[in-house]
Structure 1
Amino acid sequence: MTIAVTVAAAEVRLDLAELRANLQEADAGILVAVLAQVTGEVSVVDRFADRITFTPDPPEQRGSTDPETHAELVDALVEALANPRPAGAVPGDDPELFARVAPLALGTDVGAEYIGLLLEQGGFQPSQPVLPRTAKLPADFKVTIIGAGIAGMAAALECAAAGIAYEIIDRNDDVGGTWYTTVYPGIGVDTPSAYYSLSRDINGDWSSYYPQGAEYQRYLKSVADKNALRDHIRFSAEVQALRWVEDRKLWEVRTVAADGTQDVSYANVVVPAAGYLNRPRWPELAGRDTFGGVSIHSAEWDPELSLRGKKVAIIGAGCTAVQIVDASVDEVEHLTVFQRQPHWVAPRKRLTDDVPAHRRWLNAHVPFYANWNRLKSFWGTADNNYPVIVRDPEWAAEHLSISPANDVLLQMCRDYIDRVFGADTDLGKKVTPDFAPYGKRIIRDPGGYYAALTREHVDVEASEPAAVNERGILTQDGRQIDLDVIIYATGYHLDFLSTIDIRGRDGVRLAEVWGDSPSAYRGGLVPGFPNMFISSAPNYSPGHGAGHNFGVEVMVHYLMECLQLMAQREASTLEVTPEAFEAYVRHIDETMAQTVWCHTPTAHTYYRSGGRIVTAFPFKLIDVWQSHRAPNEEDLLVR
C-alpha cells in the first residue's frame, strides 16, 4: 500500500510499511512538530509535550518517548499524511504554531525573539523583507558579484529572486570556491553538514555529519545547476581592479581571463564575495627550496601525489594538518608532525560520522523533517554556546579557562588527552595548549588524529623545523630527519581583498584605508566606497557557533534591504557615514575586549591582525541578525 505525500512542493508516493519503519526510528520531538505543522493543530503539542524527554545527541538534544507513545505518534502522522489538508491550508511557517512546537523539536526553551531567526534558518520561510517592496530599481541596474563560492551564490540567488540583474565573476572554471580548489587528503566540513548549507536550498541527504569536501562541492554545484546560476557566471576571469567612477556613479570592473584577455565592465553595485583565506602561506625556513623530495602546500595539493610507503613530514597542527594526518597515517612509512603550537582538540561525539539511513530517508520523504534537522544542527551550536567565549573576570583570575562555560570545554578536551595519551605523559603534555579553549580555532578530531599520534611510526616534534636541506628537515635540537615528502599545512595569508586594487571616491585605495587592521560597518560597508557590500567582510564570521553561512545570509539580507532603500529614494549611491562607521567599529572592539580572543595572548591565531580581532564578531547571533534586519538611514548617505 502506498500514500501520496508532498515534500518541498513535490508529490511522492511512499510505501506505507517503509514509512512506518522509518518513523519508528525518528526523533520523537521532531515528529510532534511535524504532526502539528501537517495538521495545523496546536492541540498536538498539549497531547504529547509531557511525554517527550530529551537526551544529549551532541551538539543537539534528541527527543525520546516510550514505545506506546511513539507508536501513537506514528499512527497519527501516517493518518495525517494520508489525508492531507488542501494545499496552502496549513502554512509551515505559522509563527504562533512554530513558537509552540520549536521547544519540543529543539529540546530547549526558545525565546520569543528567536522565532523569526529560526523560521529563516530552518528554511521554513525565506528571509522576510522589512522595507516595503513598492519601488523598483532602474531597468539597467546591475550587481557584479566577485566569487562563486557559497557567499557569491547566496547573493546571486537573492538578486535573482528580486528580479535584479547580476553577474558573477570567478577566477576558477567551476563554482564552489575553497571546496573546488582545495583537495588535500581528508579535507572535510567541520560545521555539522545538516546546517552547513543555504537555508533556501536544504540538503537532507548528506552521507556524513561532517562530510568530505568533495561531497560539499557536489552540493554547491547542484545549487548552481538547479538555479541556472551558470548562465550568469563568467568563469576563468580574475578581477584585478575595481574603480569608482564618480561622474557615472558606477564601478569599473577590470578583469583578466585565463588566456590573458583583459576586459572592462561596469556595475551599479559590487559585492566582493571572495574569502579572506586564499593565498597559501609558506613559512620562512632556511633551505626550504633545497629539498630534493616533494614539497607541497595543503592549499595546492596534487591529486596525483601518493604518500604510500613514503617518509613524510607535516608542518602545522591546525585543522588542515589534523585532517591530513587522520586520512594518511595508514599509508605512510613514517610520519613526523611539526607542531609550532598545539590546539585544543574536541573528541568526536559519535562512534561514526555516517548519517543513519533512516534519517536520510525521513529528510527526503517526510514534510518539514529535513528543516528541523537543519535547525537542530544550528541551534545546538548557536547562542547557547555564547558564554564559552565571554570572559568572567573573577573566574579567569584563577583559572586557565575564562569562564565556567569555557571550563566545561577545557575539561572535556583535557579528559580526551588523558584518555588517549595517558595523564602526565610526555606526548600528552606536547599536545596540551597553554591558553583557554577558543583562544584559537578549536579543532574537531575527525576520529583518528590523536590516536594517530600514538602510533609507532609517528613522531611529534613540539617545535618548528630549524631548517630544511636536500635530504629533509633539521630539528631544533640538531637531529636530521630524512624525508620523501614535506607537507606545509601552514595556512594562508589573511587577505581582505588585498589582492584586488580597489579605489573608491577620489581614487582612495581600500588597502590604504585599511592598512593592517581592516574594519567594516553593517553589510561590509566602508566610507568612501559607495555601493560596495563586502560579503566576507571583517568581523562577519560567527566565533562561537553556527557557521560561515550564517554571516553570509545575514549580510545578503542586509544588501537586499539597502537596494530596496535605494529604489525607494530613487538614489544612485549608498554609503555609510564616517561617524556611523567609527561608532560601529568602536562597538565591535569594546564588546570584543570581553571575549576569549583578547585574553589569550599566547595563542597564535589568524583571527588577529594589526592588534585587532578582525575575523570573528563578538556578538550573539540573534543580535547580529536583528541589527541587520533593515538599514538605519541615519547612518547612511543615500543620494
Structure 2
Amino acid sequence: MTISAQDVDRFVPAGELIPLLCSVAELTGDRTLLADEFRPRLELEMIAIPEHGGLSAEVAEEAFERVRNALKRHPASGDIGGQTDLSAEEIIDFLTNGAGDYAGLMKRELGEPVQVTWTKDEVAPERDFVVGIVGAGQSGLAMARELRRLGIDYVLFEAADKVGGTWRWNTYPGCRLDTSTLAYSYSFFQRRDWRHYFAVREEIEDYYIEFAEHEQLLESIQFNSEVTRASWNEGDARWELDVRDTRSGEVSGVLVQALISAVGFVNQPKIPDFKGLDQYRGEKIHSAEWHSGVEYRGKRVNLIGTGASAYQIAPNIVDEVESLTIFQRSAPWMLPAPLYEAEVSPGRQWLMENIPSYYRWLRLWEFWHSTIGKYALTMADPNWSFTESVSEPNQRFRDALVSNIRGQYDGHEDLLGAVIPKYPVGVKRMLRDNGQWARTLQQPHTVLVTEAIESFDEEGIRTVSGDHHRADLTVFATGFHGTNYLGTIDVRGRGGLSLREHWGDESRAYKGVTVPGFPNLFCVAGPNTGLVAIGSQTFMCECGINYITECLRHLFVTGATAIEPTRDAYRDYVKWIEEGNRGMAWAAVPEQSWYRNASGTNTVVWPYPLLTYYELTRSVDEDEVVMTYPASQKASA
C-alpha cells in the first residue's frame, strides 16, 4: 500500500500527536520524532488532558511537520517487524516521559506478544485437572483464552445463549461505554476499526463474539447453563457444581478441580422496596432487564435514578415520549466529553488504516493518561475542612466541572440548584458529558424531581410532599447489588462454610482473587478491583487473570491439590485496602453510593495506583498462601 503526500497533508493533522510520533517513529526508525522537546508534559493534577500532550502550539506544529515529512520519505506502509532498530522500550520511554517503573506494564498494554513460558503438559503432564469458569463476559472469555494457551482443560458456564456478559444483557436505549473504546478493549486483542470513540453496546458485544471465535473458545462454552451451587469436596479436592439448564430447568452435576468466578459485580439488578409498588398497574422494568417489547414511544415515563444507565436512557427516549419525569436522589458529576456519541472521524479512520501501529500507540496513550487520571484530584486531605470537596486540588476540579455545568443551563438557571452535586467530586461514579443530559432536562415535557419517593399507587408515584406523577411506564435505573459479589451462587468451602455467611455484607478477597477457607476458588474482577478515577477495568481483569494462572502453576509445580491465602495475609490485605480507601474521596465522606455496603464499608473500589495492582499480581508469595497436599505427601503451609 502506498500513501500519497496529499493524504498525509490532509489526514495527519487529525491525529493525536503523541501516538503519531510513536507510531511513525516505529514505522520509519526516525529517532528525531522522539526528540526531548516532543516528550509529553502530563501533570498529576490534570483536570483535562492537555492538547498535544501538553506541548506548546509552536512545538506541536514542528512535531506534526516532522511526522508529515517522515511519512513522505517512507510512503510504503506494511507490517511492523524488524524493519528498524528502534525498540518498543525506547518509544515507551518517550511516551511516558521516562516513567521507568511502568515500562513492563506499558509494554504489556501495548500488545506486544507475550510468550507462554510454561504449559501444563510441561510441568504436570499426567495430572487430571479441569477448571470451571462462571460467566462468558469480558473476564470469563479472557480467562478461557489464557487457560487454552497454557493447555489447561476448562469448561465455561454461561447462563445466556451467547457471549458478552453485561453487554449481552443490557439492551436499553443508549447503552454504550463511558470509557474510551480503545482502552476498554483487551491488550492482547486490539482492533483498529471501531466505529465510535465510546463504543455502543452492539459493537462491544460483536467484539466479544469475534474474540471468542478467533480464540476458538466457543466449543468449550456451555450456554444456557447457570451455576447455582458450588461445594468443595475436601476428600477429592474438587468443586462439585450444580448447573441448571435455563431452558428446561434441569439440574446436572459437574466436577472441577478449580472454580473461577467471572460474574463481575453488576449482574444483580437492584430495585428498592418502594411502598405500594405491587399496586402499580403500568409497565415497569429495570434498565438491565430491558427488552424489545418495552413500549415508551408516546408514553408518560417515570425514570428513577440519575446514574450511568439513566444518564444514557433519558437523552435517547426524551424526544419520543409524551412526558419524562426523572427522580433524582443526588446529581451526578460529569466529565466533559464532546465526542461521547460521535462516530470516529474520517481522519482517524485513515490513520488507523494506513499507519500500521497507530491504533496500538493511540490505545497505549489513552491508557497512559488514564493511568495518571484523576487520582491526585480525588485524594483526600485530612486537614481539609470544607464539605463540598476533600482537598485543594479536588476543589479546583469541582470548580472546573461546576463552570462547565453552568455554561449548559443558560436561561434555565432554576435547574442549577438541582444539577450541581452537593458532594465532592469522586465520591460517586463520574459520567461523560456531551451536553445531552442538560438538553434533556431543559425539554418542556421533562420534569426533574428531587423529592424522595413516598409510595407507588395504581397510576404512578407520590413524593413525600404529596405531588403525584402518573406514568404508563416506570423505568428503574437503580443500579445493582454491587457489594453482593457472587450472590447468585451458593458457594460452600471447607467444612460446608457458606461464602455468603463468611462475607456477610462485606465481600473481600486477597488481591481481589482468593478467599481463605475456599480452596481453588478464584475471582476475576473481584472485590475491591473496581476503578473510579483512573485506568481501565480491562487492565484489572488481565492482572487478576495473571495471578490466577500463577496460582495454578504453583499447584502443578508443587504437586499440591489446593491453594488459598493464609488468614493473616487476607486480614492484612483487607486492612491495607481499607486504609487506602479512607484516603480517597469515595470513602472520605459519608455519602451513600453503590460502592458501599449497608454499614458504609467500600468493598468495590481499588484505592491505589494501577502499577501497585500490576506488581501484586505478578507472582505467588509463598509466605502468604496455604498449600494442601495429597495424603501421600507431607502437608505444609
SS at match of 1:277: coil
Change (3 A) 1:87 1:211: closer
Change (3 A) 1:526 1:85: closer
SS at match of 1:385: coil
The reply to whether residue 457 of structure 1 matches residue 441 of structure 2 is no
Q: TM-score, normalization: structure 2? A: 0.90
Q: Deviations over 1:35-65 (max 9, x none)?
A: 332345645524xx43678799954653575
- Paired with 1:387 and 1:316, the residues of 2 have a C-alpha distance of 29
SS at match of 1:433: coil
- Paired with 1:473 and 1:618, the residues of 2 have a C-alpha distance of 38
Asked whether the 8 Å contact 1:345–1:443 carries over to 2, the reply is: yes
Structure 2: tracts of 5 or more residues without a match: 630-637
Shift of 1:83: 8.2
Asked whether the 8 Å contact 2:120–2:152 carries over to 1, the reply is: no
The reply to whether residue 62 of structure 1 matches residue 52 of structure 2 is yes
What is the identity, as a one-letter code, of the residue corresponding to 1:62?
H
What is the identity, as a one-letter code, of the residue corresponding to 1:575?
E
Residue 112 (structure 2) aligns with: 124
Give matches, 1:402-551, under 5 Å. 402-421=390-409, 425-494=413-482, 495-522=484-511, 524-551=513-540
Residue 255 (structure 2) aligns with: 266
Shift of 1:90: 4.7
Q: Deviations over 1:518-566 (max 9, x none)?
A: 1110251111111111113111112321122121011001111222222
Asked whether the 8 Å contact 1:93–1:119 carries over to 2, the reply is: no
Shift of 1:416: 2.5
Shift of 1:30: 2.3
Residue 234 (structure 2) aligns with: 246
The reply to whether residue 50 of structure 1 matches residue 37 of structure 2 is yes
The reply to whether residue 76 of structure 1 matches residue 70 of structure 2 is yes
Asked whether the 8 Å contact 2:328–2:449 carries over to 1, the reply is: yes
- Paired with 1:158 and 1:562, the residues of 2 have a C-alpha distance of 13
* RMSD (Å) for aligned C-alpha atoms: 2.8
Greater strand fraction, Structure 1 or Structure 2: 1
Shift of 1:515: 0.8
What is the identity, as a one-letter code, of the residue corresponding to 1:33?
C
- Paired with 1:79 and 1:51, the residues of 2 have a C-alpha distance of 20
SS at match of 1:154: helix
Asked whether the 8 Å contact 1:390–1:596 carries over to 2, the reply is: yes
Residue 583 (structure 1) aligns with: 572
The reply to whether residue 101 of structure 1 matches residue 94 of structure 2 is yes
The reply to whether residue 229 of structure 1 matches residue 224 of structure 2 is no
- Paired with 1:77 and 1:422, the residues of 2 have a C-alpha distance of 46
Residue 9 (structure 1) aligns with: none
- Paired with 1:327 and 1:215, the residues of 2 have a C-alpha distance of 18
Shift of 1:129: 6.3
Asked whether the 8 Å contact 1:434–1:602 carries over to 2, the reply is: no
Say which is worse superposed, 84-93 or 479-488, in terms of deviation.
84-93
SS at match of 1:540: coil
What is the identity, as a one-letter code, of the residue corresponding to 2:269?
P
- Paired with 2:107 and 2:612, the residues of 1 have a C-alpha distance of 16
Q: Deviations over 1:299-358 (max 9, x none)?
A: 111212232221111111111111111111111111111112222223334486322122
SS at match of 1:555: helix
SS at match of 1:571: coil
Give matches, 1:585-604, under 5 Å. 585-604=574-593
- Paired with 2:340 and 2:515, the residues of 1 have a C-alpha distance of 47
SS at match of 1:617: coil
Asked whether the 8 Å contact 1:417–1:423 carries over to 2, the reply is: no
Give matches, 1:127-142, under 5 Å. 135-136=123-124, 138-142=126-130
- Paired with 2:47 and 2:401, the residues of 1 have a C-alpha distance of 18
Asked whether the 8 Å contact 1:310–1:484 carries over to 2, the reply is: yes
Q: Deviations over 1:443-491 (max 9, x none)?
A: 2235411221112111111023222222222232212222221111111
Asked whether the 8 Å contact 1:347–1:445 carries over to 2, the reply is: yes
- Paired with 1:569 and 1:283, the residues of 2 have a C-alpha distance of 49
Shift of 1:624: 1.1
Shift of 1:422: 5.1
Say which is worse superposed, 290-299 or 496-505, in terms of deviation.
290-299
Give matches, 1:138-157, under 5 Å. 138-157=126-145
Residue 11 (structure 1) aligns with: none
- Paired with 1:21 and 1:138, the residues of 2 have a C-alpha distance of 61
Q: Deviations over 1:157-212 (max 9, x none)?
A: 11112121121101000000111011111111111111111110112222222122
Q: Deviations over 1:197-230 (max 9, x none)?
A: 1110112222222122122111111111111111
Residue 106 (structure 1) aligns with: none
Say which is worse superposed, 470-479 or 455-464, in terms of deviation.
470-479
Asked whether the 8 Å contact 2:40–2:95 carries over to 1, the reply is: no
Work out the number of aligned pairs and report it: 619
Asked whether the 8 Å contact 2:80–2:357 carries over to 1, the reply is: no
Say which is worse superposed, 226-235 or 18-27, in terms of deviation.
18-27
What is the identity, as a one-letter code, of the residue corresponding to 1:70?
F
The reply to whether residue 200 of structure 1 matches residue 188 of structure 2 is yes
Structure 1: tracts of 5 or more residues without a match: 4-13, 104-108
- Paired with 1:18 and 1:277, the residues of 2 have a C-alpha distance of 45
Say which is worse superposed, 447-456 or 127-136, in terms of deviation.
127-136
What is the identity, as a one-letter code, of the residue corresponding to 2:64?
H
Shift of 1:493: 2.0
The reply to whether residue 378 of structure 1 matches residue 367 of structure 2 is yes
- Paired with 1:464 and 1:606, the residues of 2 have a C-alpha distance of 21
